Amino acid sequence: MSDEWKPKILGMVCNWCSYAGADLAGSARTQYPPDIRIVRVMCTGRLDMLFVLKAFADGADGVLVSGCHFGDCHYLEGNYKAAKRMFMVKSLLKNIGLEDKRFRMTFVSASEGVKWAKVVEDVVNVVKSYGPNPIAGFAANK
């Protein structure tokens, strides 16, 4: 058994595209790190910035939000709305002293299982380079 630190990464993914892409990666037995836990949402446009910030406060070492490509959203403009909100998340992370590279927003379609695996591998490697979340448990210390 390895004593190597394993990051806790939360993935909030669109039901119609990114979740299906992750499912395709699994069905095709595409290898990628098991360090991500996925929460399926109907549309990334429904994600509040506070969900991402709460994930970090509750101990996530990294957060990945992944949705449909622009122009392919089932809800027409949900991914545009999400991108605007998530851009602000990066700014907020810098303001609270957390590396903004611990957070990533990507766009993966249902047919891009290999791309999903590469995205997850990249996110895991970036988060590993920063180490454990320095603000983990902040919400519990109120």
Per-residue pLDDT tens digits for 129-140: 999 999 987 655
Q: Is the dihedral of CA 104, 30, 132, 129 positive or negative?
A: negative
Residue with tokens 């490697």: 125
Distance separating alpha carbons of residues 137 and 16, to the nearest angstrom: 32
Distance separating alpha carbons of residues 93 and 97, to the nearest angstrom: 6
Percentage of the chain beyond pLDDT 70 is 95
pLDDT tens figures, 56-113: 999 999 999 999 999 999 999 999 999 999 999 999 999 988 999 999 999 999 999 9
**DSSP SS3 for 38:** strand
9-134: CATH class: alpha beta
Measured at the CA of 25, the angle between CA 20 and CA 28, to 5 degrees, comes to: 120
pLDDT tens figures, 10-63: 999 999 999 999 999 999 999 999 999 999 999 999 999 999 999 999 999 999
How many CA atoms lie less than 13 Å away from 52 in the CB half-sphere? 30
Distance separating alpha carbons of residues 138 and 48, to the nearest angstrom: 19
Helix (H) or strand (E) holding 131: none
Its pTM stands at 0.93
Distance separating alpha carbons of residues 13 and 45, to the nearest angstrom: 11
Distance separating alpha carbons of residues 10 and 12, to the nearest angstrom: 7
